[in-house]
Structure formats: structure tokens, C-alpha cells
């Protein structure tokens, strides 16, 4: 038993040290989930105790975003904003809140990469773009993904006006399903692909 | 004849125990590395269990656990403090298995599917897995850990029991100090 305690103590100390020196290590004092830590299993609803139909995940998401004071756009509105002439002039910006690998595999054409878990990586680039924009559409993978929510809150925390921020709840999967173009690689790479409906 | 059979079965058990120790060590090393290389992904998965309400605690769990698993894996591969490490593995594996089981039950009740058809990323370091397979894997990992705790797998160990080494050192020191008086 004493040996187990020794292993536990040494392991914890070494683990803290390894996390500290690891370039991918977590910052212990950073709140990675500004929208809140608590995230009950979406599945955990007791259907037997209610006659009312259970809210859909889209309704739950909309309610949660509203609680955070964030506005939402659906697929049709996101497409309208994409085709709006102001998008070409920088008046409307799309922000991709997924990680770098996913971003490079395909994103909304012209969207800026902004991973809310490593904001220091892109904030210097994204911030002036967001400050200049009139409307900012933040998205991730739709469904249960709440990285767009975290990104929007992070942007709001650094001074972007709340009225400018919109969360595209359907995210990239819905965008692709709607047959809209996707850009591969870096921002404005010009490598566009369209998946037909 | 009987002695020969006994020694053969003893040798087979020893060999199997060493292989089990290496397998257990390699599994924990692999799982720990997978998590340590993608800490944010692991953090998100730990969050899904809704275990703690403090983000400092959540970050600490997600930061420590992968490296702790790597540490335990290396100890088992090298054969250092094997029984103490086995205790730690059991201490980690049993609650993890209960948590994974509970989450699977919640998913099953919502999706109304057979229990073994439940597939999700449990944050175990292997991506999405079918729950029954995961539970079976964990059962064997716990079984191997209990076996090592029972004292098997002593062969090819750098230092199987750490405490006996410490006790010996203190005895030698004690003897020296007594002699000098």
C-alpha cells in the first residue's frame, strides 16, 4: 500500500511537470469553457416522466445560446450572408472555431481560423478583422459542438460587440449538405470544392 | 514426474505473467500518449462526464491523467514497483469503468438501442468504441492488474518491489549506526 502511495505521489508530480513542459500542455488556470463546464449528456432525459415532447437538440442549443446572450443564424441565413456583397468587402466575416487540422481539410471560403482552446495562436490576426466587420458568423461542427459558442464568448470577452456576433448552429456539416462551396487549405487559398446536394 | 510438471506449469505461469505485465504496460503507455498528444480533445471528453464543477479541477484531471498513465505504463514495462503500480491501475480502472457504464446507459435510454450497440468516445484513448467491447477490455485489464498485485510477473523486473529495497537500505543504515556506537 505504501508502494502504491509512493507511485501515486511520484506519478502526480511527474505528470504536472510533464504537462508544464509539454508544448501541447493544458494551462491549468485557464477556463477553456467560458459557456460553462456543466454539460449533461444530451441523452439523459426522462421521457417516461413527461407527456410533453422532448425538446430537440437544436431547440436546446438555441435556448442555451440565448441564455448566453448570443444570436444565432440558420443555414438559409448563413448562405444569404455568404452571398451578400458586404462579405467580399469585409463587412461580413465567417469564423471557423474548429481545430487547425479540420480547418485545413475544409472550411467556409474566406473564413478565418480561430481555435478557442488556443486563442493566442490566431487572436492577433482575427481581432482586427472582427473589429472591422459589421457581422461575424462563428461556426464549428454543428450538433453537440459548442466550440463556436466558446469562440463567440472569447471574442466578446476581448471587446467585440455582442450585436455583431452570430453563431451558425448547423455548422459546416449543414453547409456541405446544402451544397455550398468549401475551401481546402489556408484562408483564400482559392482551392474550392462543392458537394452537390 | 510431478515435480517436472509443477516446474513446467510454474514456468508457463511466470512467462504469461511477464507477458501480461508488458501488455498492460504497453496498453497504458499507448492510451496515455494518445491523450497527452491531444489534451484539449481529452479535456472535452472528460467534461462530458460532468464530474466536477470547477474548471481548475477539470483542467487538472485532464492534464495529469494521461501522463500518469504513461508513468504507470513505463513502470510496468520496466518492472519497477509492480504491485504498487497495479494498485494504482485498479484504483483508476474501476471508477472509469463505472463512469463509462453509466454514460452508456444514459445514451442507451435516450437512443432506445440495444446496450451493446452503444458506441461513443469514452475518452479512453482509443476513439469511438462499442461499449460491450470496452467493458470487456477493462475487465481483462483489471484482471491482469489483480494478478500482478497478487505477486506474479516478477521475472525480468528491474525492481519488482520498491519497499523491500527501501527497507533494506534503512536496515543497513541502522546496522551501521549501531556498529559505530
Query: Is B75 close to A7, i.e. CB distance below 8 A?
Result: yes
- pLDDT number for residue B172: 60
- pLDDT number for residue A102: 94
Q: What is the mean pLDDT of chain A?
A: 87
Residue A94 belongs to a domain with what CATH number? 3.40.250.10
| CA–CA dist A132, A135 (Å, integer) | 9
DSSP state of A111: P
| CA–CA dist B22, B26 (Å, integer) | 6
| CA–CA dist A136, A165 (Å, integer) | 5
| CA–CA dist A107, B134 (Å, integer) | 34
- pLDDT number for residue B2: 62
Residue A73 in domain = yes
- The 10 Å Cβ neighbour count of residue B95 is 11
- pLDDT number for residue A43: 42
What residues have CB less than 8 Å from A131, skipping those under 6 apart?
A159, A160
pLDDT class of B169 with cuts at 50, 70, 90: low
Q: Across the interface, which of A4, A45, A99 has its CB nearest the CB of B84?
A: A4
H or E stretch covering B145: helix B131-149
- pLDDT number for residue B167: 59
The grid cell for B48 is 462530458
Interval B150-176 mean pLDDT: 68
- Cα within 13 Å of Cα(A41), Cβ side: 22
Residue whose C-alpha is closest to residue B86's, from B99, B95, B73: B73
CB A101 within 8 A of CB A177: no
Domain interval for residue A92: 56-194
Interface of A with B (CB under 8 A): 1-8, 10-12, 14-16, 18-19, 22, 24-33, 37-45, 99, 117-118
| CA–CA dist B139, B68 (Å, integer) | 20
| CA–CA dist A174, A192 (Å, integer) | 17
- pLDDT number for residue A168: 95
Query: Is A15 close to B68, i.e. CB distance below 8 A?
Result: yes
Q: Across the interface, which of B50, B56, B83 has its CB nearest the CB of A39?
A: B50
Q: Across the interface, which of A1, A14, A40 has its CB nearest the CB of B50?
A: A40
Interval B93-116 mean pLDDT: 93
3-state helix, strand, coil in chain A (%, to 5): 45, 15, 40
- The 10 Å Cβ neighbour count of residue B16 is 13
CB B96 within 8 A of CB B84: no
Residue A1 in domain = no
| CA–CA dist B87, B70 (Å, integer) | 15
Whether residue B12 has pLDDT greater than 70 = yes
CB A136 within 8 A of CB A105: no
DSSP state of B66: H
pLDDT (tens digit per residue) in B36-88: 999 999 999 999 898 888 999 999 999 999 999 999 999 999 999 899 999 99
H or E stretch covering A192: strand A192-194
Identify the residue with better confidence: A89 or B13.
A89
Q: List chain B domain ranges.
A: 2-180
The count of domains in chain A is 1
Query: Is A18 close to B53, i.e. CB distance below 8 A?
Result: no
Residue A38 in domain = no
At which residue does the C-alpha cell 477556463 appear?
A31
DSSP state of A185: S
Tally of residues, chain A: 197
Residue A122 in domain = yes
| CA–CA dist B101, B94 (Å, integer) | 11
The grid cell for B28 is 497504458
Residue A119 in domain = yes
DSSP state of B101: H
Collect the ranges in chain A with pLDDT lower than 50: 41, 43-51
Residue whose C-alpha is closest to residue A160's, from A140, A139, A134: A134
Q: What is the mean pLDDT of chain B?
A: 87
- pLDDT number for residue B3: 64
Amino acid at each position: 500500500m505504501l508502494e502504491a502511495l509512493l507511485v501515486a505521489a511520484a506519478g502526480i508530480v511527474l505528470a504536472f511537470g510533464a504537462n508544464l513542459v509539454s508544448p501541447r500542455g493544458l494551462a491549468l488556470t485557464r477556463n477553456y469553457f467560458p459557456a460553462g463546464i456543466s454539460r449533461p449528456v444530451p441523452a439523459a432525459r426522462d421521457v417516461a416522466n413527461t407527456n410533453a415532447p422532448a425538446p430537440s437538440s437544436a431547440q436546446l442549443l438555441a435556448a442555451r445560446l440565448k441564455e448566453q446572450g448570443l444570436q444565432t443564424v440558420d443555414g438559409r441565413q448563413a448562405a444569404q450572408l455568404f452571398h451578400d456583397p458586404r462579405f467580399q468587402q469585409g463587412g461580413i466575416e465567417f469564423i471557423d472555431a474548429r481545430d487547425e487540422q479540420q480547418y485545413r481539410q475544409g472550411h467556409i471560403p474566406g473564413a478565418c481560423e480561430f481555435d478557442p482552446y488556443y486563442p493566442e495562436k490566431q487572436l492577433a490576426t482575427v481581432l482586427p478583422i472582427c473589429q472591422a466587420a459589421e457581422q461575424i458568423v462563428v461556426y464549428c461542427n454543428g450538433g453537440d459542438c459548442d466550440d463556436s459558442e466558446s469562440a463567440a464568448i472569447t471574442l466578446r470577452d476581448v471587446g467585440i460587440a455582442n450585436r455583431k456576433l452570430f453563431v451558425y448552429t448547423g455548422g459546416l456539416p449543414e453547409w456541405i449538405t446544402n451544397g455550398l462551396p468549401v475551401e481546402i487549405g489556408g484562408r483564400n487559398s482559392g482551392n474550392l470544392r462543392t458537394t452537390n446536394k | 514426474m510431478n515435480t517436472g510438471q509443477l516446474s513446467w506449469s510454474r514456468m508457463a505461469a511466470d512467462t504469461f505473467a511477464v507477458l501480461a505485465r508488458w501488455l498492460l504496460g504497453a496498453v497504458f503507455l499507448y492510451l496515455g500518449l494518445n491523450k497527452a498528444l491531444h489534451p484539449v480533445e481529452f479535456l472535452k471528453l472528460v467534461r462530458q462526464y460532468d464530474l466536477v464543477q470547477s474548471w481548475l479541477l477539470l483542467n487538472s484531471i485532464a492534464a495529469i491523467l494521461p501522463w500518469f498513465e504513461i508513468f504507470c505504463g513505463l513502470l510496468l514495462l520496466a518492472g519497477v514497483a509492480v504491485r504498487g503500480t497495479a494498485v494504482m491501475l485498479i484504483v483508476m480502472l474501476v471508477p472509469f469503468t463505472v463512469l463509462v457504464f453509466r454514460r452508456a446507459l444514459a445514451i442507451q435510454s435516450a437512443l432506445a438501442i440495444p446496450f451493446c450497440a452503444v458506441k461513443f468516445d469514452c475518452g479512453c484513448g482509443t476513439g469511438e468504441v462499442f461499449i460491450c467491447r470496452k467493458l470487456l477490455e477493462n475487465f481483462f485489464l483489471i484482471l491482469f492488474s489483480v494478478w500482478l498485485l497478487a505477486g506474479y510477473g516478477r521475472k525480468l523486473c528491474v525492481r519488482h518491489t520498491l519497499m523491500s529495497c527501501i527497507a533494506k537500505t534503512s536496515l543497513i543504515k541502522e546496522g551501521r549506526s549501531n556498529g559505530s556506537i
